[in-house]
């Protein structure tokens, strides 16, 4: 259920039932007077039970515990509203804190944008009800202490620097301990799965993500603690693999568009996804949502490179090769 990774630094594996991610890696650091928890798990019974049992065994006092939230997705922040006490500090970036404090605030905007990328109306009516980001979001009266890249967070013998790594979300934040050459990567870098890079509303998240992979590549790191799956001992090798993955995704999309113009949803249906279903039609709605978001992010990236053009036809964004 938990293990000690380094002196006074523990990993707690929080189950994510019926989720392809399987588990969240939550990390707890013991200081002489306070504790720091990094990410929490979803706001659901299965997560809460394992978390509270682990904290009891670790003798963690929530009255003396602060929290660092790497980003706003519910598997990373869902329990913070029930775990935090009046004496807790909750550290998070400004962009992601806005979503944590009001998870439904962007709901209508997200749906309208998805329509404009071709997401079918009959699927859209189920998205918000089934989307884990809304279904298992944090509840309770939360006060967030905003952090930005370069800020310091100290707990015991660990002196972390905040590292801004937008891409997976607008405000994704990692923690770096330079003396220990330790990176807590959240979902910026994962080992045997690739972080989802989605776009629905605005920006160029894949461009941001790749730039922030390069930023981490230049950092002296011996051990990376990711938000899911295995610890990473050669982060530069993994970064190269992730960059190659996105290059292959871009090549795949260009090959699809060679067959003719299409909206982003149509492109997503023709891409290869590591989802345990025999056909796109049988994918769960949340998986179609994430896949479509990733297709849009890559199309936007290719548009920025001048390889793809976009035209609004009858309210739908249609993409073509330039």
- What pLDDT score was predicted for residue 65? 98
193 neighbors 36 (Cβ within 8 angstroms): no
Mean pLDDT confidence for 10-32: 96
- What pLDDT score was predicted for residue 300? 98
Q: Which pair of tokens denotes residue 183?
A: 């990176």
Q: What is the pLDDT of residues 215-240, one digit of tens each?
A: 999 999 999 999 999 999 999 999 99
Q: Residue 19: give the domain boundaries.
A: 2-321
**pTM for the full model?**
0.95
189 neighbors 71 (Cβ within 8 angstroms): no
Distance CA 248, CA 300 (A): 15
Instruction: Report the CATH number that the domain containing residue 142 is assigned in CATH.
Output: 3.60.15.10
Q: Which pair of tokens denotes residue 61?
A: 């006092």
Give the residue ranges of DSSP H helices in 73-147.
74-77, 80-83, 94-101, 107-116, 121-130, 132-135
243 neighbors 210 (Cβ within 8 angstroms): yes
Distance CA 122, CA 54 (A): 42
Q: How many separate domains does the chain show?
A: 1
Distance CA 230, CA 218 (A): 22
Q: Which helix (H) or strand (E) holds 251?
A: helix 235-257
Q: What is the pLDDT of residues 77-132, one digit of tens each?
A: 999 999 999 999 999 999 999 999 987 777 888 899 999 999 999 888 888 777 77
């Amino acid at each position: 259920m938990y293990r000690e990774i380094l002196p006074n630094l523990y990993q707690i594996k929080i189950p994510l039932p019926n989720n392809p991610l399987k588990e969240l890696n939550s990390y707890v650091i013991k200081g002489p007077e306070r504790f720091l928890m990094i990410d929490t798990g979803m706001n659901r019974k299965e997560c809460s039970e394992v978390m509270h049992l682990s904290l009891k065994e670790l003798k963690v006092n929530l009255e003396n515990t602060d929290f660092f939230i790497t980003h706003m997705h519910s598997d990373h922040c869902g329990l913070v509203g029930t775990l935090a006490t009046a004496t807790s500090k909750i550290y998070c970036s400004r962009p992601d804190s806005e979503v944590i404090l009001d998870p439904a605030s962007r709901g209508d905007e997200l749906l309208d944008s998805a329509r404009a990328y071709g997401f079918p109306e009959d699927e859209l009516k189920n998205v918000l009800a089934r989307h884990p980001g809304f279904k298992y979001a944090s509840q309770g009266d939360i006060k967030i202490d905003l952090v930005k890249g370069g800020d310091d967070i100290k707990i015991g013998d660990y002196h972390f620097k905040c590292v801004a790594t937008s891409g997976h979300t607008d405000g994704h934040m990692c923690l770096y301990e330079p003396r220990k050459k330790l990176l807590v990567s959240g979902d910026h870098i994962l080992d045997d799965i690739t972080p989802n890079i989605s776009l629905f509303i605005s920006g160029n998240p894949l461009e941001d993500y790749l730039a922030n992979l390069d930023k981490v590549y230049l950092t002296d790191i011996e051990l990376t603690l990711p938000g899911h799956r295995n610890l990473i001992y050669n982060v530069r090798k993994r970064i190269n693999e992730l960059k190659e993955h996105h290059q292959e995704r871009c090549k795949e999309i260009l090959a699809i568009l060679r067959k003719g113009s299409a909206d982003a949803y149509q492109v997503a249906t023709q891409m290869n996804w590591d989802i345990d279903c025999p056909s796109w039609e049988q994918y769960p709605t949340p998986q179609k949502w994430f896949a479509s978001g990733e297709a849009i992010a890559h199309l936007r990236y290719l548009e920025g490179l001048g390889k793809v053009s976009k035209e609004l036809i009858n309210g739908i964004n249609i993409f073509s090769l330039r």
